Chains A and B, each alone.
Chain A
Amino acid sequence: MTEKRKPKTNLLVLGLTVFGCLLMLVFGLRVMRALDKFDGVPQPPPFAAADEIETDVETIEDWMTVPFISHTYGVPPEVLMKALMIPVKGNHKKSLKELNEEYYPRSDGYVIDTVKATILAYRSSPAPDVPAPPQP
């Protein structure tokens, strides 16, 4: 039995191969770039207590909400809302980006910068209402 291929089939296979090459090139480069970032993260962070607190404020992003940041960074939500001069009620499910667009539309990035600064300030100054540790 002789099989005659249609030019369409030839084109399809050629297209598939070229598309495969393109995908390999694009995603290969992106994988390499992601691997470069991995160099800075050689191993997963060690496990601390179940309620471990994040310390690097640079990991804060504008999709995060105030309660989420509050939980992750161990800073009360009232402290963050007070610094932002935003009412707590009705805003706890909004992302930092949404808060920025709603309350500070003219100052791009104001909310995320304020949140970062507030967390750093909260960390550096001991909270006045924290009870002293009990004496042994």
Chain B
Amino acid sequence: MSDFLLTQVINYGAPLLGIVVFIGGLGVPLPCTVLVIAAGAFARQGILPWHTTALISIISVIVGDSISYSFGYYASERVIERFGGSPRWLEAEKAFQKWGPLSIFFSRFLVTAIALPVNLISGTTRFPFRKFILFDALGEVVWIFGYGGLGYLFGSQWEVVSEFLSNFGGLVLGIILFVIGIKQARNWQIKKHQLLH
């Protein structure tokens, strides 16, 4: 898939990249990060104009993210009907209001695997749209300029950077899940201890 899309990006340029990151923003698993890093390298080689490419990509991915937010938003009635008002739902909603901005920001570029769930949860928990767009845009700007910038900096060696960053995201996701699991187990242990005494 990556190879096919790379060929199409060098053939059709920024508009094709915009379409791909838009679809990626909707949640379709496409190798968007690889393409963004490669686009940076292509910009250095003079194949793509960096400013137009960056602008089109940022706008496209933000529109894609907003649509996936709206999926969650419009599905929220059914979810609230089923779970709304329960202590766990309220707890989750409260937690997302607290951690939402950070989750939105970092899932745009560092832990991209959770970007779609974060968009859907943002919509479902009625996280304020303006706030969502703000942190979404900040994260996407870091993604496009940071990752694309690395591609630009490393030129023809962009694939080494891409391999590192793609795997680093997976490692961070593993650490997050592990920490959440350990923290939850610890909380249970503390509660159990308190009940016993």
- A: residues with CB less than 8 A from B are 2-3, 5, 13-14, 16-17, 19-28, 30-31, 34-35, 37-38, 41, 44-45, 50-52, 54, 56, 59, 61-65, 68, 71-72, 93, 95, 97-98
Contact = CB atoms under 8 A, between A and B. Distances in A.
Interface in B151-197: 153-157, 160, 163-164, 167-171, 173-182, 184-185, 188, 191, 195
B7 A44 contact: no
Contacts of B3: 61-63, 95, 97
A35 B153 CA distance: 17
Given A3-B191, A16-B180, 8 more contacts: A13-B184, A23-B174, A24-B175, A25-B174, A44-B155, A45-B155, A50-B46, A65-B11
A44 B173 contact: no
A27 B181 contact: no
Contacts, number: 114
B141 to A, nearest CB: 21
Interface string B10-46: 1100000000000000000000000000000000111
A17 B185 contact: yes
B10 A27 contact: no
Contact-size category for B: 35 or more
B170 A23 contact: yes
Contacts of A54: 45, 155-156
Contacts of A3: 191
A63 B9 CA distance: 11
Nearest to A61: B3
Given A16-B180, A35-B164, A71-B47, A24 B171 contact: yes
